[in-house]
Structure 1
Amino acid sequence: MNYRSFIRGVTLFLCSVSACSYAADSLVSKAVQQQKQESKHNQQREAGFKQTEKTLQATKNRLALEKKKLQQQVDLLSAQFSNNETRLAQLEDKLRLETGSLGEVFGVVRLNAKNLQSYLSRSITQADRHRYSGAVDEIVNAQALPSLSQLKALWQSFSEQIKASEEITRFQIPYIDHSGERHQVTTARLGTFGLVTQKGYVAWEPEKQVVMSYLKQPEDGPVLDQISGLLTGQTQILRVDPSQGTLLAQLANVPDLMDRVKSGGVVGYIILTILAIGLLIALIRGATLLFIRQKINAQLKHPEAPGNNPLGRILSVYDQEKHQSVEALELRLLEAVMDEQVHLERGLSMLKLLAALAPMLGLLGTVTGMIETFQVITQFGNGDPKVMAGGISMALVTTVLGLISAMPMLLAHNILSSQAESIRMILEKQGIGIVAGQAEKDADLPAEPQAI
């Protein structure tokens, strides 16, 4: 039993040793094979590296050659640039020497072209005489010296404007009315002074190339039909605007009487109402005193028949009180004269009050207008005088209205007071004469009451 086991064990050991030997041989063969493959791969990589190195070296050589060529070109261009700069400086010196005073001439040309352009931008001659305006703009906007053709066009433009200043021509032109509608109208150009249509002078709008009516026409301003004689060469006197439209445009800013009255506001209307009342009182009292004076003059011619007038009523008092004593008669006549004086001076105190009230209201309007002006300055500042014009206008207009209203009322009050005082003096003189006559009668003197 032991023998068999030993044999089995020996057999198993021999089998394991042979197996191990076989496995070792297999690993060695695999390692050798792997080493061969890696050696082959390394050789391929070294061959690739060498090929890449050759390619890079060829590229480097080619780039170095190109760099050398470019450097040669740079050197050549640098030398050429230096030569060009030197040549350019020489040519500039030569140009400056050859042109001489032509630079100043061209400067004068450009300056005159700018002045002409400014003139043409607002001249009415552009409505039908603008053939060379484009050439003038080219000279003004040019960066280089003007050419001979441009200089010729500038001279022709000056000649065109000189000829246009003496022309009176008639042509069609676009017109925009106050409603904004555009249509063609016939207009006549009076030299460089104005354009005239059937509605009078019209304003030239150079940006829109149209004409528009002025807000206000001058007095006795011409219309197209009135200047037909000028178009045929006849002599005619017209009112023209030497400022080429500036003065005509300013007519709209010149207020008339109603505009000035409206600028006075409520205070201005009150002052005018006071003036109307004062003048009405003055007219009524003036007519009344004149009528009374005529009746008194008639009564002086017929003192024996007292009438319905101040002197007649004085004589009636004498007829009623002639039996009284001289002192009583004098008092009665004085009372009658005083009553007549009250009637004669009726309304004069009110007229004097209105004459004193008018300038005070004018001062009130002045203060009110200045308050309004300061309020506008507070809100909008004082940069634009137009926003302050309303308050200042009210302040000045009310002052003027107050003074204008006070002067005629004071004059009327003075005249009417003088008339009333003159009538009162007549009444007093007649009363004194009556009293003197009565005193002479009482003293048994042959005297009768007579009107003096």
Structure 2
Amino acid sequence: MKRLAALIVLSVTAMPLCAQPAGLDALLEQIRESQSQASRINQEREQRFLRNKNEQAEQLRQAERELAAAKARADAARGRYDAQQREIAALKAQLKERAGDYVQVNAAVRQLAGELRSAAADSMLTAQFPERMDFLEDLASGTALPSLSELETLWFTLTQEMAESGKVVRFDTQIVDEHGARVQADVIRVGTFTAFAGDRYLTTSNEGRLLTALPRQPSGKLRRLAEAFARSDEPVAPVLVDPTRGSLLLLEGEKPDLGQRIRQGGLVGYVIIAIGVVGLLMALGQMVYLEAVGRRMRAQLRNLQSPRDDNPLGRVLRVFDDDPAHRDDDPELLELRLSEAVLREMPALERAQSILRLFAAAAPLLGLLGTVTGMIVTFQTITMFGTGDPKLMADGISQALVTTVQGLVVAIPLLFVNSLLATRARALVQILDEQSAGLLAQRLEVRRA
């Protein structure tokens, strides 16, 4: 029934494409032809399906055969892999057994290369031979066993470090100056400790590959020493050696010079220095005056019969020559007149001594004042910032100590100078007293005769 219905549907569908039948016989004939045509189509389809099924079965069998072959190959490969793994394990065990102490030697070589690299990073020698840093870096961080050439190069680097540490070498290289610019310079290296270019001391940077001028150079004496060593052609010459490879030179450069010390004293320090300068100038002027007066008085002593007005002794001797009417006065009156003449000369001889004593007494007091103000600044800094950073308190402490030193430095010389002036003045006054007493005795003898 289903096949009949299908044929009817096909015939009805194909009817518009064909001519209308003339009668029922023609319709039946047409249906029969359609049925036979459909049967042929179905047979062809069944045959194609059977052919496809056979082909698929054959393909399935072919795929199964290939799968079996692939499994066989995989099993064989797995067997070979396992065999090779066992062989590799046996070879590793054999290598480890045969290597023996070479593994420990390898570890020792890595450790030695790392230590030598750390030492070379701070060595002045690296700036002359910068290529050794790359070799030591690769050898210290590598994982493969070092070759014979690498061991020989490591031995050569160690020997070079020891040999060059006792040499003074001059070489041309690029350095970084105080302003951060790279310049070409003639560098002198003293062992592995000190290097300088001209009068500029150098330190290492960039892991020793580059030499850099110290930001603050040491004192002028040390710089002149380096410059003299660079110019010297003698086989032996003095030179500064820094065993810390620049650390001590950096500390030396941080030391303040005289101008910075004076500035640390502040206003009180400037006042103390002004007092000292004024006092020394006054003392120098008075010393020159006393020396000139003493020289003229010694000349007058050699010629007492002709007194002159250019010295105190001559003016005392001329006391009686000015007015002959007083030559016959009483001895007491003569003594008073001589004493008056001596006292008239004493202020000029003792000039500046009182002000020098004042300066010598005031300078330590001003230093104490600077100490107190410096401590006040220090305590204020501690109140605001605490005691975590000692550098914050350095200004106040520096002012406290520097002003004390300034006060003592000014007071002590002024005391000695004042004592020297007083001694010199007393010696001249003593000459006046002796000569006036002699003049008085001479006049009394003449009068008694």
TM-score range, shorter chain: 0.5 to 0.7
Q: Measured at CA, do residues 101 and 293 of structure 1 come closer, stay the same or move farther in structure 2, by a change above 3 Å?
A: same
Query: In 2, distance between residues paired with 1:153 and 1:299?
Result: 91
Task: State the partner residue of 1:370.
Answer: 375
What is the CA distance between 1:252 and its match in structure 2? 1.8
1:225–1:280 CA distance, 2 compared to 1 (3 A): closer
Query: 1:136 aligns to what?
Result: 136
Following superposition, the deviation at residue 417 of structure 1 comes to 0.7
Structure 1: gaps of 5 or more residues: 1-83, 447-452
Aligned to 2:225, the other structure's residue is in SS state coil
Task: State the SS of the aligned residue for 1:216.
Answer: coil
Contact 2:126 2:208 in 1 (8 A): no
**Residue number in structure 2 paired with 1:436:** 441
**Distance change (3 Å), C-alpha of 1:289 and 1:171:** closer
| 1:161 match | 161
5 Å matches for 1:23-422? 109-138=109-138, 140-141=140-141, 147=146, 154-165=154-165, 173-197=173-197, 200-207=200-207, 209-214=209-214, 215-216=216-217, 218-222=223-227, 226=231, 235=235, 237=237, 239-243=239-243, 244-308=245-309, 309-319=311-321, 320=323, 321-422=326-427
The verdict on how the C-alpha distance between 1:281 and 1:162 changes in structure 2, with shifts beyond 3 A counting, is same
Q: CA deviation at 1:411?
A: 1.0
Q: Residues 128 and 118 (structure 1 numbering): CA distance in 2 closer, same or farther, change over 3 Å?
A: same
Structure 2: gaps (5+ residues): 1-85
Query: Structure 1 residue 327: deviation in Å?
Result: 1.5
Q: Is the 8 A contact 2:127 2:208 kept in 1?
A: no
- The answer (yes or no) to whether the contact 1:110–1:140 under 8 Å persists in 2 is yes
Output the amino acid matched with 2:418. H
The question of whether the paired residues in 2 share the 8 Å contact of 1:187 and 1:224 is answered with: no
Deviations, residues 22-41 of structure 1 (Å, cap 9, x unaligned): xxxxxxxxxxxxxxxxxxxx
- 2:428 and 2:188 map into 1 onto residues whose CA distance is 68
C-alpha deviation, 1:343, in angstroms: 2.4
Secondary structure at 1:317's aligned position in 2? coil
Q: Is the 8 A contact 1:289 1:344 kept in 2?
A: yes
Once the two structures are superposed, residues 258-297 of structure 1 have per-residue CA deviations (whole angstroms, 9 ceiling, x without a partner) of 3322322222222221111111111111121222222222
Question: Quick one: which amino acid aligns to residue 406 of structure 1?
Answer: A
How big is the shift at 1:205?
1.4
Distance (Å, rounded) in 2 between the aligned partners of 1:167 and 1:133: 21
Question: Structure 1 residues 306, 113: closer, same or farther in 2, change over 3 A?
Answer: same
Paired residue secondary structure (2:226): coil
Alpha-carbon shift at residue 133 of structure 1 (Å): 3.0
Asked if the contact 2:190–2:241 (Cα under 8 Å) also holds between the matched residues in 1, the reply is: no
User: 2:306, 2:156 → 1: CA distance?
Assistant: 99
Question: Does the 8 Å contact 1:174/1:210 carry over to 2?
Answer: yes
Q: Which residue of 2 aligns with 1:19?
A: none
Distance 1:223 1:129 in 2: 26
Q: What is the rounded CA distance, in whole Å, between the counterparts of 1:223 and 1:298 in structure 2?
A: 52
Deviation at 1:409, TM superposition (A): 1.2
Q: How many residues get paired?
A: 349
Distance 1:266 1:311 in 2: 46
How far the C-alpha of 1:367 sits from its partner, in A, is 2.0
- Given the superposition, is the C-alpha separation of residues 112 and 385 from structure 1 closer, same or farther in structure 2, using an over 3 Å criterion? farther
**Aligned partners of 2:290 and 2:238: how far apart in 1?**
52
Contact 2:229-2:238 at 8 Å conserved across structures = no
Please give the TM-score of this superposition, normalised by the length of structure 2. Answer: 0.66
